[in-house]
Amino acid sequence: MSDETLKQQLAQIIENVIGTAVEHDDLLIESGLVDSMTAVDIVMAVKNEFGCKVPPTEIDEHLESIDALAAFIQASRG
Amino acid sequence: MHFDFDRCQFADLEHNADAPALRDASRVLDWAGLQLAVEAWQLRASAAGIMPGTALVISGHKQIEFVVAMLGCLRLGVTYVPLDSINPPQRLQRIIELVGAGHYYDAATDRFEAGVAQATPLAEADLAYIMFTSGSTGDPKGVQIGRDSVALFAGWIRDCLGLGARPTFMNQMLFSFDFSLFDLCGALALGGQCVLCPREVIAAPLDFVGYLADSQVQVWASTPSFVRQQLLNDEFDAAHLPHLQVFVFGAESLTPTLANQLWARFPKARIINSYGPTEATCSTTWIEILPPLDAGTQPLSIGRAKPYAELFLVDGELCIAGDHVMRGYLNRPDLSAAVLFEHNGKRAYRSGDLAEIDEHGRVFFHGRRDDQIKLHGYRIELGEVDAGLASLPGVSAAATVALRRPDGTLVRMIGFVETLELPAATLGPLPTALADWKQHLASRLPAYMIPSELLACGRFPGTLSDKVDRKRLAALYQETRLKRPKETQ
């Protein structure tokens, strides 16, 4: 899957969870768009969709933005 | 041993006195030890000049001392006012003034501290506690609950839920919220154990599961949001928590999806859904949710009326009657008159919740008729958040919006401050004077009442009745996010 497709899919997942459109470089946690509860939903959706699990202690790091999350998913797929 | 809430005393003293009654992060207290601790606390409270018929504010967070003080108050005929340390000092002071408490007890330091100069006797007799909930004008309102109401609540847990002999309960909800009484009353009335879980234990998921496993917790009561967070931890399952048998939910909607996720981890667990406003002593309805559930088919019922509660609808609004209904809001006859009335000789309460009751007496929740929201289980009046925002430097008007998904579920709160610098109904960045708005707000409001974002807005869109149009503001926010230019620098 291309990087761009992955990011578009992530944008859709996140929009479904937070009810707001997001750009690939929006700061998700720092801006307040994603809080601790919606982060849980995003992590669960990513696990279901892509089969990779964001460790609970690294949520702030990998959910920083769609770009960061896409990089994490690509890296964990190897 | 157990605690008899009808007579407010320890009972059955010769049995299991050495069984654990309370556990917190630092120690375990057995039943004999608990009785001694409560008696000693009563003597100290009396010596400090705390009189029956007055209020004592208890502040702290999941210490055994907090529970000892609550039981001591019940024994002494003192009305306790529980306040978790999540509340900023300003709110603690305001509540001490509102209840006219001559003292407050700090459970963290185990000390009595000075309150108002002259304690005010409470007008209402035989109150167990006063619990403060969000008030739409910005001032929290004190819900007054009678001792008899608490005894009814404890009796329901003891007699109706089939939890077995001397069960162990997990206690995580803050003592400022009445749902936290479920674990406490259940454990104390049944002679079981209440395991207090402070936030630092909960924050470390693996430690938390270890703490619960070590305590052999059997009964879990929480908001659905809280259990959902635990699902991130793979060790949150029956293999690691073999004693956990019953989940009790309240304070927000339980979805079939979550129930199914939970059964995937705990295949044999019972799931109980419950509902009830603070104004009617923690819970008014309950229902056992039975598998299999078709995810996404229809919302779950919030239950049927308990034995001592009567439920009926007036223009779609759920009304609750019974001896568990509050004795009114503290010193606010105006607010009390707006929601309390008599029904078949009992106190009755207009809940503000819209509902439907089917032919089996099952209640289905259909939202609110006002600006009160439940965000992750926290009850919030948007008006109180507005008032908090309006106290920020240079802000003359503010409005808070609850952002929802297309299916109506709540996501988060967004705050708006009005500014003349922008055209009407146009959003823009905050003035620099508001850069540290979160810190400002935190001195006044607990963290769960602080919006996730704050934006400036030209003159607020209004409704026909001249109120701020919150729906329009929410739409404005969404539109602005959709069409904003790329502003990466």
Mean pLDDT, residues B241-255 taken together:
95
Phi-psi region of B354 (alpha: psi -120 to 50; beta: other; left: phi over 0): beta
Strands (E) in B203-337, as ranges, are 219-222, 246-249, 270-275, 285-289, 304-305, 310-314, 317-321
Token duo for residue B445: 């409001």
The pLDDT assigned to B371 comes to 92
Beta-carbon separation of A19 and B404 below 8 A: yes
Give this prediction's pTM: 0.91
Identify the CA nearest to B6 among candidates B128, B125, B123: B128
Pairing status of strand B193-196 against strand B219-222: unpaired
Residues in A closer than 8 angstroms to B473, CB to CB, are: none
pLDDT of res. B159: 96
- Helix, strand, coil percentages (3-state) for chain A, rounded to 5, are 65, 0, 35
pLDDT at B380: 96
B229 interaction partners in chain A (CB closer than 8 Å): 36-37, 40
Q: Cβ distance B269 to B242 under 8 Å?
A: no
**Which residues from chain A sit within 8 angstroms of residue B205, using beta carbons?**
56
pLDDT band with cut points at 50, 70 and 90 for residue B147: very high
A47 part of contact set with chain B, CB < 8 Å: no
Separation between Cα atoms, residue B427 and residue B226, nearest integer Å = 33
Q: What's the CATH code of the domain at A29?
A: 1.10.1200.10
Q: What is the mean pLDDT of residues B72-76?
A: 98
Question: What angle separates helix A36-50 from helix A66-77, to the nearest 10 degrees?
Answer: 40
Which residues in B have their CB inside 8 Å of a CB on A?
205, 225, 228-229, 231-233, 376, 403-406, 411-412, 451-453, 477-478, 481-482, 486, 488
Sorted by sequence, the CB contacts under 8 Å of residue B295 that are 6+ apart come out as B256, B257, B260
CB pair distance less than 8 Å for A33 and B453: yes
| Of B376, B405, B453, Cβ closest to residue A19 | B405
In the block, residue with structure tokens 């259990």 = B227
A4 touches chain B (CB under 8 A): no
Judged by CB atoms closer than 8 Å, whether chains meet at A33 and B452 is answered as yes
Q: How many residues does chain A have?
A: 78
More confident residue, B480 or B269: B269
Q: pLDDT by residue (tens digit) across B77-115?
A: 999 999 999 999 999 999 999 999 999 999 999 999 999
pLDDT of res. B484: 65
pLDDT (average), residues B275-298: 88
Name chain B contacts of A27, Cβ cutoff 8 Å. Answer: none
Does the distance separating the beta carbons of A38 and B232 come in below 8 Å?
Answer: no
What average pLDDT does this structure show over B180-195? 98
| Residue B489 binned pLDDT confidence (cut-offs 50, 70, 90) | very low
User: For residue A31, which residues of chain B lie inside 8 Å, CB to CB?
Assistant: 453
Beta-carbon separation of A20 and B231 below 8 A = no
Residue B293 pLDDT class (50, 70, 90 cuts): confident
- If you count residue pairs, one on A and one on B, with CB atoms under 8 Å apart, how many are there? 48
Which two tokens mark A47? 């696990």
In percent, the amount of chain B with pLDDT more than 70 equals 98
Say if the Cβ atoms of A20 and B488 lie within 8 Å. Answer: no
- Closest residue to B233, CB basis, from A21, A41, A56: A56
Domain that holds residue A48: 3-77
* CB contact (8 A) between residue B405 and residue A25: no
Shortest alpha-carbon distance between residue B378 and chain A (Å): 13
Q: How confident is the model at residue B406 (pLDDT cuts 50, 70, 90)?
A: confident
* B133 vs B298: which has the higher pLDDT: B133
| Domains in chain B, CATH or no CATH each | 2-365 (3.40.50.12780), 372-483 (3.30.300.30)
- pLDDT > 90: what percent of chain B? 88
Q: What is the DSSP letter of B406?
A: T
- Whether the pLDDT of residue B261 is over 80: the answer is yes
| pLDDT the model gives residue B485 | 58
Quick count: other Cβ atoms within 10 Å of Cβ B68?
A: 25
pLDDT value at position B463?
Answer: 77
Best interface-test mutation with A: which of B231, B378, B410, B452 has the largest number of A CBs within 10 A? B452
d(CA B303, CA B363): 6
> Which pLDDT belongs to residue B335?
96
| Number of domains comprising chain A | 1
* Cβ-based contacts of A30 with chain B (< 8 Å): none
In this predicted structure, what is the pLDDT of residue B488?
Answer: 43
Best-predicted range by mean pLDDT (B28-32, B258-262, B289-293, B367-371): B28-32
For residue B179, the Cα-to-chain-centroid distance in whole angstroms is 6
Contacts of A23 in chain B (CB under 8 A): 486
Q: How far is B420 from chain A (nearest CA, A)?
A: 24
Closest in B205, B412, B451 to A56, CB measured: B205
Q: Do the beta carbons of residue B224 and residue B271 sit within 8 Å?
A: no
Pair of tokens at residue B450: 């602080």
Task: Tell me which residue in B376, B453, B488 faces A32 most closely, judged by beta carbons.
Answer: B453
Mean pLDDT computed over every residue of chain B: 94
Residue of B234, B411, B453 best to disrupt the A interface, most CBs of A under 10 A: B411
- Residue count of chain B, please give it: 489
Cβ density class B170-179: b for 16+ within 10 Å, e for less: bbbbbbbbbb
Provide the pLDDT for residue B273.
Answer: 96
Taking 50 as the pLDDT cut, the residues of chain A under it are none
Give tens-digit pLDDT for B300-353. 999 999 999 999 999 999 999 999 999 999 999 999 999 999 999 999 999 999
Query: Which residues in chain B are contacts of A41 at CB distance < 8 A?
Result: 228
Chain A nearest-CA distance from B482, in A, is 6
User: In this complex, which of B403, B453, B486 lies closest to A19 when CB atoms are compared?
Assistant: B403
ipTM of the prediction: 0.87
> Residue B44 pLDDT > 50, yes or no?
yes
Query: CB contact, 8 Å: A5 with chain B?
Result: no
**B376:A37 CB<8 A:** yes
* Angle at which helices B64-76 and B181-189 cross, to 10°: 70
pLDDT surpasses 70 at B275: yes
Chain A residues within an 8 Å CB radius of B406:
19
Which residues are bridge partners to B381 per DSSP? B372
Hey, are the CB atoms on B405 and A37 less than 8 Å from each other?
A: no
